[in-house]
Amino acid sequence: MKLYISCDMEGTAGICSWNQCDPTNTTEYPIYRRMMSREVRAAIDGARSVEPCEVLVNDSHSRMHNLLFEELPNDIRVLSGYRKAFSMVQSGDEGFDGAFFTGYHAGIGVERAVLAHTYSPNVLYGVRVNGVEFDEALLNAAYLGEFGVPVLLVTGDEALCTAVREHLPWVECAQVKRSIDYYSVDSVTPAAAIELIAEAARSAILRRTQARPFCVEGPVTLQIETVGVECADYIALVPGFARVGGRSLRFSGASYLPVFQALIAAMRIGRSATERA
């Protein structure tokens, strides 16, 4: 089978701080990028214990070049680099049979969810699709759903797993930690996380015929709340976005694809507005 893996970092076992996920941090980040890489490796190994998998891994955290190649199998492809037009789901349209989301986290505003945010915490305060709050897992699952790709596995904290199960009940969840609050976790050890993820990946592939692509039926309305008014000022310049409040914007599309593209564009433009004038 052809397997797509989008790997984030905040949901890696043990991680409880932005420092551990910050590529400019020279003490903790090197430790945790290795753990992130090993969790991706575990997911691949678990999947391959069931059937041969052609694997594309999309490094999806921060500057998007976190993975240590020496920790990965030598017969996979890896997407590295920031920025990618389709961000955490870049190249998800290349005919995959299923997807894994590793190291994921809950969406912005979720209680007891470590480092919870949705794409850009400096720009996005809330994202709703057809009135439903969407986190990264749902936003990305819906993009892949447009190409018939079902999400089979997510790994991360309990808050993520609870949210994913609500909308994508067929997804196998590897819960490597429980968040105590935004900056603290009750986690299994990295070694235990690797076993857990490999086992979950294995059952995800074994049960993959039960999984379904997550499809958002059109027409689709996106509503975003920005952190600052200055972000909304610039996003509102983009044709198609309607300003519906000081920090609120709405975008409508016939299907999910243009809406997802509009969200990525809004995030990029909004980010440029966060630079201090």
Nearer to Zn ion, 59 or 230 (CB): 59
Q: Shortest Cβ distance from residue 196 to Zn ion (Å)?
A: 20
Nearer to Zn ion, 48 or 117 (CB): 117
Q: Shortest Cβ distance from residue 240 to Zn ion (Å)?
A: 28
Nearer to Zn ion, 87 or 223 (CB): 87
Q: Shortest Cβ distance from residue 118 to Zn ion (Å)?
A: 11
Q: Shortest Cβ distance from residue 62 to Zn ion (Å)?
A: 6
Nearer to Zn ion, 114 or 196 (CB): 114
Q: Which residue has the tokens 């955290």?
A: 61
Cβ contact 188:13 at 8 Å = yes
Please confirm whether the linkage preceding 165 is cis (ω < 30° from 0).
no
Q: Which stretch binds Zn ion (CB under 5 A): 53-61, 173-181, 219-227, 269-277?
A: 53-61
Q: Binding of Zn ion at residue 117 (CB under 5 A)?
A: no
Q: Shortest Cβ distance from residue 10 to Zn ion (Å)?
A: 5
Q: Binding of Zn ion at residue 61 (CB under 5 A)?
A: yes
Q: Binding of Zn ion at residue 8 (CB under 5 A)?
A: yes
Q: Which stretch binds Zn ion (CB under 5 A): 55-63, 77-85, 90-98, 243-251?
A: 55-63
Cβ contact 161:181 at 8 Å = no
Report how many residues bind Zn ion under the rule CB under 5 A.
4
Q: Using CB atoms, what's the residue nearest to Zn ion?
A: 61
Q: Binding of Zn ion at residue 157 (CB under 5 A)?
A: no
From 36, 37, 61, 41, select the one nearest 53 (Cα to Cα).
Answer: 41
From 70, 37, 92, 67, select the one nearest 214 (Cα to Cα).
Answer: 92
Q: Shortest Cβ distance from residue 29 to Zn ion (Å)?
A: 12
Q: Shortest Cβ distance from residue 177 to Zn ion (Å)?
A: 15
Q: Shortest Cβ distance from residue 24 to Zn ion (Å)?
A: 14
Q: Binding of Zn ion at residue 146 (CB under 5 A)?
A: no
Q: Which stretch binds Zn ion (CB under 5 A): 56-64, 118-126, 238-246, 264-272?
A: 56-64
Cβ contact 8:152 at 8 Å = no
Q: Binding of Zn ion at residue 39 (CB under 5 A)?
A: no
List residues binding Zn ion (CB under 5 A): 8-10, 61
